Structure 1
Amino acid sequence: MTKGKGITAALVALLLSAAAPVGAGSFKAPEGCETWLTVQSRGCRVSNHYRCSADQPGDQWRADFDLEGIFFLSRIDAEAQWVESYEFNPRVKQVLDGADDPASFSDLLQGRDDFDFRLSRDNGEKTHVTGHDALTGQRIAIDGIELLQTEFDFTEVDAEGNQLRRARGREYVHPEWRLFFAGPSEWHDGSDWLPSDGSPVQFILPGEKGFAATQPIFECGAMMSEAPGTLLPQQVRHDR
């Protein structure tokens, strides 16, 4: 990869070829990158987090897998601000397209962060996201890892101002890892609020059983509460 340029087509192809079959083996980060955390979550999702030496300091990648393989890949910066992401079914690239009030992890750790930014997809779609994250003051332990609980509310509109998505709820952050993790939330489908919960269940570090897994293990036999084709809130606004 070229410093600051993000993922290459070859890297996308590598991830696609390595992640397709159910029961696939370990995730292998691209050359020059190192996987450092695997998270098994509710909603039949496993995520592998990795860092690449060619990226800007503080940048992090996350590859999300379901039973059919990889479905979402994203990069954030040192402030946990969404830089770029890739959906694979159908394949769409999305990038940050400017911000009047950039997302700031540092501001959030002081209590609250308001954000106002724009996104651009390679299919021509442009959207505008506004909202906030705020600490609730609660500390939550999941699998022995202490996290700070947040509450959020965000709205995404198209170029004409039509509402595309709105969500609200709780998430979790790890101050030292500078990462967000999903929590119990609600989506508005235009008429009703629909529940969603992609909370982490297991945090797996190098050397531990299940590290770099590409097969999710939690709630894979249950009916998913998310609307079909709907990404988790942190995959819509600033990665997380």
Structure 2
Amino acid sequence: MHDFRVHSYYTQPPMEPSTRTISVTGQGTLYVKPDTVIITIGIRTEHASALEALSENAKRANAMIQALQTIGILHEDIDTSSFSIYPKYTYTNHTAVLAGYEVEHMFDITVKDVKMVGAIYETAVANGANIARQLQFKLANEQPHYQQALAMAVKNAREKAFVLAHTLQLPLHDVPIEIKEQSNSFTLSPPRTIVLAEGAAPPIQTQEIVITAVVHAAFAY
């Protein structure tokens, strides 16, 4: 992700305060298909005994991991994202009564072939997974795409400046005296919890990643 700090580049020595300038904002935007997906999926188990809930959760988690490895997911691409054990209570006459325990083990699965996402959900559900959270579409290397968007933004700023200069019949210099870069890439949607049942893995439609570069440029005339 790019930050929002402003970077200034001087293409020639700063001009005298009396120099007349045209200031414009240029923008370049690319729509890129992701090449990496991070799936957050896991197992939730409940039992009157914390030990039994933990044992059942571990059994299902191991089965899920082994099944994912059989379809090509590497061990190093499966990471625990969270693990919790907490009690569950019922209330009788305003009195809390311990009803059992819930164990939840969530995993982040890095998928380097986006076409496999549906198969991964299907395999995970068939082997013990019953809850999923966020799905992140990413680029393994965002920089080449951002640099292309940045070049488009500079070109867009120059075109705007020349339109203004031509309209006002001003002798605009071809090279800007200053360029300020302000950039951003993309924002993920808020995580959404999906409860999964066997045989009900959802079809996944690939989302495009929007990469945008913005520059502020000043041209002398």
Q: TM-score, normalised by structure 2?
A: 0.23
Higher RCO (C-alpha 8 Å, min separation 6): 2
User: More strand per residue: 1 or 2?
Assistant: 1
Larger radius of gyration: 2
User: More helix per residue: 1 or 2?
Assistant: 2
Q: TM-score, normalised by structure 1?
A: 0.22
